[in-house]
Amino acid sequence: MAPSILAADFAHLADEIARVEEAGADLLHLDVMDGHFVPNLTIGPAIVEKIRPVTNLLLDVHLMIEEPARYIQAFAEAGADVITFHAEVVGDPEALAQRIHELGCEAGVTMNPDGPLDQVRRAVPHVDMVLIMTIYAGFGGQQFLPETLPTIRTVRGWLSEEQRLEVDGGIHAGTVASAAEAGADVFVAGTAIFRSPGGDYAASIAELRAVAAAAAAS
Ligand code: DX5
Ligand code: ZN
């Protein structure tokens, strides 16, 4: 389970991160947006650097930016553990994944629901994780797109046991089962955790995990 801080209260970010860590999160998902690849603007390496010392969670950095190659070193130095780039904007995913590895991070490749699946396939042998977007990247709080499920299934078939398959967008207790059943094993959730009614992050994470595990086992 990878809570996305996009839905957190940024005025109290360290507290929010401590609460999801305490609540049983496995990764902390950090959404980086540049106002070009996606219309929204979020955080950069300076914030990642400030987050690094306040948590033991692995930092899962999702780059929704046009020129990821220009910034991966800055994110690696800021303390990223996993750096995921969009296949839409990378001509040579093998070289970029290799560079990410040289910087001491794990590499992930991702794409939007209408993204270039053959580019992702070419990247698969060189990455630790594939992220299939289950919404169009740019904003939290969107509806899960079920038409992405066949893609999740296809990509699962390409991956080894060690490679992870992450999904991101519209994941909540009502959608996580279909993603898990299709083969996803890492689940990003912003709204469903940070904006859950009652604000019980542990209960939200536990419910997502239980529903996903039951679906994966079925
Ligand atoms: C959107 C981001 C997501 C977003 C998910 O472009 O990549 O990580 O935070 O938010 P929810 O879980 O609210 O759909
Ligand atoms: Zn994301």
How confident is the model at residue 128, as a pLDDT?
98
Residue 98 clears pLDDT 90, i.e. is over it: yes
Q: Report residue 37 as tokens.
A: 């690849």
Residue showing tokens 């490679």: 163
DSSP state of 34: B
3-state helix, strand, coil in the chain (%, to 5): 50, 20, 30
135 CA to centre of ligand 2 in angstroms = 10
Q: Report residue 175 as tokens.
A: 């959608």
190 CA to centre of ligand 2 in angstroms = 9
Confidence bin at 156 (pLDDT 50/70/90): very high
pLDDT in tens, 20-35: 999 999 999 999 999 9
159 CA to centre of ligand 1 in angstroms = 24
As annotated, the active-site residues are: 31, 168
Residue 218 clears pLDDT 90, i.e. is over it: no
How confident is the model at residue 75, as a pLDDT?
98
pLDDT in tens, 40-62: 999 999 999 999 999 999 999 99
pLDDT in tens, 175-185: 999 999 999 99
Q: Which atom of ligand 1 is least distant from the CA of 192?
A: 12
pLDDT in tens, 102-128: 999 999 999 999 999 999 999 999 999
| CB 142 near ligand 1, within 6 Å | yes
| CB 189 near ligand 1, within 6 Å | yes
Phi, psi of 168, deg, nearest 5:
-150, 120
Out of 191, 196, 205, 208, mutate this one to test ligand 1's pocket (max ligand atoms within 8 Å of CB): namely 191
Sheet holding 186-189, edge to edge: 2-3, 186-189, 164-168, 129-133, 106-111, 82-86, 58-64, 27-33
Out of 168, 194, 195, mutate this one to test ligand 1's pocket (max ligand atoms within 8 Å of CB): namely 168
Confidence bin at 81 (pLDDT 50/70/90): very high
How confident is the model at residue 57, as a pLDDT?
98
- Rounded CA-CA distance 134/144 in Å is 6
pLDDT in tens, 128-146: 999 999 999 999 999 999 9
Amino acid at 72: I
